[in-house]
Chains A and B, each alone.
Chain A
Amino acid sequence: MEIARPTDLAGVLDALDADPAATLLAGGTDLMVEVTYGGRRPASVVALRRVDELATWEGRTIGSGVTWARIEHGPVRALAQAARTVGSPQIRSAGTIGGNLGTASPAGDGLPFLAAVDASVVLASTAGRRTLRWDEFLTGPKQNALQPGEVIVGVELPEHLPERQEFAKIGARNAMVISVASACLVREAGGATRIALGSVGPTPVRARRAEEMISAEPSPSPAAVAEFGRLVAEEVSPITDHRSTAEYRRHASGVLARRLLERCL
């Protein structure tokens, strides 16, 4: 196995240019499981851990190499809430937000926030940079738009983030658990509301009809809150697997939607 351990972004891009099929390694928390249990034997690896440019967080740009441990104590409320639910302390000190995007699991804990705020993903290759909105980047379960030769540079948050933002995640134990369903809701003072849910569809699901309905309610009545939950439950498309049932995930999506909305009122 060849490994490149560049210390700057240019070095990463050069390495990828020379070997576009190289496996990108960030925190390793997903890749190493595939190595140990999935029989994955990468022929070449480009390790990103030493690239300071990827590990910076400036304003609304979060480098792909920023770890969950940093995000957990960072200034963005709902993203910090999500970060605290990622794996264990050990996982959070290694795993990165870029890794969440690279793996593109429907259960990725950071993804509902990115979807709720309509974040973008910045990619780079020797051919230049491009920026994709989250839903252009996440194309399916464990599928994304990253091309050979490209690396995820970071996440760009919108200029304005709603002050009211809440995240919640359901798992079958109280720590270190893969999400059965998760949700992130953001709401402007004027009522504009967005909600994205994880583990209830192939990619994070935005419940747009529910958003539209509740955004028109500056101070929603209990009936409106209930209706919002009902609409969210309708809009998700969960499956049954060994972690939960489609019915429960749908039901839980509605409950989480109501509760997060109430917390933002």
Chain B
Amino acid sequence: MIRLTVNGIEHTAEPAGAESLLATLRDRLGLAGSKDACEQGECGSCSVIMDGELVCSCLVMAADADGSEITTVEGLAPAGELHPVQRALVEAHGVQCGYCTPGFAVAAAHLFEREPSPSADDIKEALSGNICRCTGYGAILRALTGLAGEEP
């Protein structure tokens, strides 16, 4: 039995064996926003913020996450609202199939929390662990450089 605070709400869960935090979030807590595209830390689709750090939830053993505070894509903004990075991604057409989008939103939110006006290069480096196969990243970069008030 583990206790997690996810998006401000306390949960208990019983992960099976060494299952990942991603599996616990998706299959036990019903939070399917974090995606499972590679499950080995090479795509960023499952990114969450855990105790202030951006991590791949597929590489966190759920049993070891006991006591953690976690923010998933579902918790970036209050119900019915969008986080500024979410709004920017939608409005700049940075969303196509959308499978990578939650991971990008979480990683970008984490970046902007620490650095409100990152340069285009810093945005790229911060998002270099997130793979998108649809957009070629152009619209994602335009969304976030626009938010940062930077030229892409």
Name A residues whose Cβ lies closer than 8 Å to a Cβ of B: 1, 3, 5, 25, 27-29, 31-33, 35-37, 40-42, 45, 47, 49, 69, 87-91, 93-94, 175-176
Contact = CB atoms under 8 A, between A and B. Distances in A.
Interface stretch (B25-33, B69-77, B94-102, B125-133): B125-133
B42 A176 contact: yes
A28 B60 contact: yes
20 contacts: A5-B64, A5-B66, A32-B18, A32-B41, A32-B60, A35-B18, A35-B20, A37-B39, A42-B18, A45-B18, A45-B63, A47-B64, A49-B64, A88-B128, A89-B125, A89-B126, A90-B56, A91-B41, A91-B59, A93-B54
B65 to A, nearest CB: 9
Nearest to A28: B59
A76 B30 CA distance: 44
A33 B59 contact: yes
Interface in B9-59: 17-20, 39-42, 44, 47, 53-56, 58-59
A25 B61 contact: yes
Q: Which 5 A-B residue pairs are closest in the complex by CB-CB distance?
A: A88-B129, A175-B128, A93-B53, A47-B64, A1-B17
A89 B107 contact: yes
A9 B99 CA distance: 41
B41 A29 contact: yes
Contacts, number: 96
B53 A94 contact: yes
Contacts of A93: 53-55
B53 A32 contact: no
A94 B40 contact: no
A3 B64 contact: yes
A97 to B, nearest CB: 16
Contact of B56 (A1, A31, A94): A94
Contacts of A88: 41-42, 44, 56, 128-130
A37 B20 CA distance: 12
B129 A87 contact: yes
Contacts of B42: 88, 176
Contacts of A45: 18, 61, 63-64
Given A45-B61, A45-B63, A176 B40 contact: no
Contacts of B66: 5
A94 B61 contact: no
Most chain B Cβ neighbours within 10 Å, of A3, A89, A94: A89
Most chain B Cβ neighbours within 10 Å, of A27, A32, A36, A47: A32
B58 A36 contact: yes
Given A25-B64, A35-B19, A90-B55, 12 more contacts: A29-B59, A36-B20, A47-B61, A87-B41, A88-B44, A88-B56, A88-B128, A88-B130, A89-B125, A89-B129, A90-B56, A94-B53
